[in-house]
Amino acid sequence: MFPRIREITDAFGGKLRVSVEEHPSGALVVLERPDMSDRPRILLDGYGTDVLAGYIMSARLAVPHGLPEEHVDGTFGTRFELGLEPRAALELSQEGEARLEIPAPFWDRLYAELCLVGAHARELARRAEARVH
């Protein structure tokens, strides 16, 4: 079943790839923009995935107004920001990596995917924990 890969395409041909990969801690959610030349990539653990899902909903409710940024720390520390100009987009960045921009047309489908991949990631983490004990 893993890796699990889904691609979301917007009306203008933009692509966002969402995948779940096994990891010693259980699983990672990987976000990529294969349609961009620098192919930015963000790795999220379960904590980061949950915060991103909540941040998407907060951004939907906030636009056209701003939203404070959020940070998650740890091995996959990530900063989440809402950009409003030139269009509403989530901006995700990790130390030393390219910034991943997720325009508003992706948000609803990404939120749904995060609900699904979050469940898969939690199950993989549970299985990894069971193997350790």
pLDDT tens track for 20-31: 887 777 788 999
Confidence of residue 123 (pLDDT cuts 50, 70, 90): confident
Per the structure, the count of domains in the chain is 1
Is pLDDT at 1 greater than 60 in this prediction?
no
Three-state secondary-structure class, residue 38? coil
- Indicate the pTM of the whole model: 0.88
Residue 118 inside a domain? The answer is yes
Domain that holds residue 51: 5-126
Residue 34 inside a domain? The answer is yes
Residue 131 inside a domain? The answer is no
Q: Which residues contact 131 (CB under 8 A, 6 or more apart)?
A: none
Q: Is 133 exposed, middle or buried (0-12, 13-18, 19+ CB in 10 A)?
A: exposed
C-alpha neighbours within 13 Å on the C-beta side of residue 81: 11
DSSP secondary structure of 73-116: -STT-EEEEEE-SSS-EEEEE-TTSPPEEEEGGGHHHHHHHHHH
CATH code for the domain of 52: 3.30.2450.30
